[in-house]
Amino acid sequence: MALIGTDINRACLELNQGNLVGIPTETVYGLAGNALDAKVVAKIFSVKKRPAFDPLIIHIPSFQYLDTVVSKVPEQAKLLANSFWPGPLTLVLPSKDIVPDLTNSGLSTVAVRVPNHPLALALLDRLDYPLASPSANPFGYISPTTAQHVEQQLGGDIPYILDGGACTIGIESTIIGFEGEHPVIYRPGGVSIEALQELIGKTGFKPHASKVVAPGMLNNHYSPRKNLLLGNIPELIAAYGPEKAGVLSFKDHYQKIDESVQFQLSEKGDLTEAAQNLFGCLRKLDAMSITHIFAELVPNHGLGLAINDRLQRAAS
């Protein structure tokens, strides 16, 4: 079992010895290791059972550190970083040779962000290397939003988990790259597309591109072990029956389903609250004595776009 605590010195010691640790961010908890050490990066892929063609996100302490790992920063990328870092935005930019090919899955680009969590930033400030830190869960499963989630899944594979409390955003970062000079969103996330476009204008949107060019683009992801059926919940109840079914709704209750296996993402219809609750509710349902989960899409704007993206991938 991994030790859970708030000792940054212990986390630094483990990382400096080439070990992996769980770290908090505002989005989800990460499985962190030295991003510039290929042997350590290989451990991340091994512990997560993540395919080597799915690149990792590098976490850095500040915008000023970006030149260490990136060879070119377009003006729009600078504008985005200055507006949303620290925060749930990942930039995909041309990589420097210092970043191992394994970290980038052989791509010429690297995915980078500055997390908005005091413990994560304090940890990064004490290290002389950036951290590769994908979500701290077995590949394809529900992302962790507490230190306890990390321990339940990966506690046997890592020595220490830095406990920063429950994640405040609850879904992964938005990922944006540049094709030529044109910005393209590869994954919706904690920064809304509306906020990005208000700053830099029109963007492309390729969350399901046939070629993986950024983390988090695979169709089947974030999935519970129980069968998740996505659609109109009353119609799903009528088609499959209420027996052995749980419900994950946006805000409504359904009389034909026992209340003990129903979860509302936000009874007041707040998308920020819904995002915070998404992965935790999925985990609770996945641990129950049910065979399938009925779920529905939320309003498709703001953080709703990212929530729907996760639900669709979980159901695929």
Report the predicted TM-score, pTM, of the whole model to 2 decimal places.
0.94
**For the chain, percent of residues with pLDDT exceeding 70:** 99
Segment 102-121 shows an average pLDDT of 97
Per residue in 195-226, pLDDT (tens digit) is: 999 999 999 998 876 678 888 887 777 889 99
Q: What is the 3-state secondary structure (H, E, C) of 279-292?
A: HHHHHHHHCCCCCE
Pairing of strands 182-187, 204-205: parallel
158: CB partners within 8 A, 6+ apart: 2, 19, 20, 21, 22, 31, 47, 150
Predicted local distance difference test score (pLDDT) of residue 212: 84
Predicted local distance difference test score (pLDDT) of residue 297: 98
Q: How confident is the model at residue 274 (pLDDT cuts 50, 70, 90)?
A: very high
3-class DSSP assignment, residue 54: coil
Tokens 């940054």, located at residue: 8
3-class DSSP assignment, residue 112: strand
Instruction: Give me the half-sphere count of Cα atoms (radius 13 Å) on the Cβ side of residue 171.
Output: 32
Per residue in 19-41, pLDDT (tens digit) is: 999 999 999 999 999 999 999 99
Strand partners, 161: 4, 22
Query: What's at 154, amino acid-wise?
Result: L
3-class DSSP assignment, residue 87: coil
Predicted local distance difference test score (pLDDT) of residue 59: 98
Quote the CA–CA distance of 54 and 182 in Å, as a whole number: 23
Residue ranges and CATH numbers for the domains of the chain are: 3-167 (3.90.870.10), 227-315 (3.40.50.11030)
